[in-house]
Homo-oligomer: A and B are copies of this chain.
Amino acid sequence: MNPRSAERPRTPKGQGDRLRGEILDATRRLLLQAGDVAEVSVRAIAAEVGVTAPSIYRHFETKDELIFAVCEESFAELDRRSSAAADEEPDPLSGLAARGRAYVHFGLEHPEQYRLLFMTRAAFEGDDASERLRSTAAFDHLVHAVDAAIDAKALRPDLDPFTVAIGLWASSHGLTSLLIAKPQFPWPPVDNLIEHTLTASLAGLLPTS
Spell out A's residues near B (CB within 8 Å). 35-36, 111, 115, 118-122, 125, 132, 136, 162-164, 166-167, 169-175, 177-178, 180-185, 187-188, 192-193, 196-197, 199-205, 209
Which residue of chain B is the closest to A200 with respect to CB atoms?
B204
Interface centre among A136, A170, A184 (most CB of B within 10 A): A170
With a CB–CB cut-off of 8 A, which chain B residues contact A35?
121
Q: Once the chains are docked, how many angstroms separate the CA of A200 from the CA of B205?
A: 7
Question: In whole Å, how far is A77's beta carbon from the nearest beta carbon of chain B?
Answer: 20
- Do B181 and A120 touch (CB < 8 A)? yes
- Do A171 and B121 touch (CB < 8 A)? no
With a CB–CB cut-off of 8 A, which chain B residues contact A201?
167, 171, 200-201, 204
Known contacts A167-B201, A200-B205; 11 further A-B pairs (Cβ under 8 A): A115-B121, A119-B120, A122-B182, A167-B196, A167-B200, A171-B174, A173-B177, A177-B177, A200-B204, A201-B204, A203-B205
- Chain copies in the assembly? 2
- Do B184 and A175 touch (CB < 8 A)? no
Question: In whole Å, how far is A33's beta carbon from the nearest beta carbon of chain B?
Answer: 14
- Do B188 and A162 touch (CB < 8 A)? yes
Q: Once the chains are docked, how many angstroms separate the CA of A120 from the CA of B173?
A: 14
Closest 3 CB pairs of A and B: A174-B174, A203-B204, A170-B174
